[in-house]
Amino acid sequence: MQAIEKEKEFFARHPIYSSYSEKLGVPYLTKSMNKILIYHIKRCIPALNKQINEHLQQKERELVQL
């Protein structure tokens, strides 16, 4: 955590980055990447659910044939 505090201090004190400091660094990157991941997962779930159901139905038909 010391490194994150140093990073935060660096951006906060930097003459160019200080005005953007709340959108720089590992904590902001973590939040941003997490939002992207959650969005992607939510977008993929319906297709995955459909594939699973189709595969399950196929296997059930094969089981009946056996």
Question: Is 21:12 a contact under the CB 8 Å cutoff?
Answer: yes
pLDDT tens, position by position, 6-45: 999 999 999 999 999 999 999 999 999 999 999 999 999 9
pTM score of the predicted model: 0.69
Which DSSP letter does residue 15 get? Answer: T
Sequence-distant (≥ 6) Cβ neighbours of residue 21 within 8 angstroms: 8, 11, 12, 14
Q: What is the mean pLDDT of residues 47-61?
A: 97
Structural domain of 19: 2-65
- 3-state secondary structure (DSSP) of residue 4: helix
Q: Structural domain tally of the chain? A: 1
- 3-state secondary structure (DSSP) of residue 21: helix
1: pLDDT confidence band, cut at 50, 70 and 90? Answer: confident
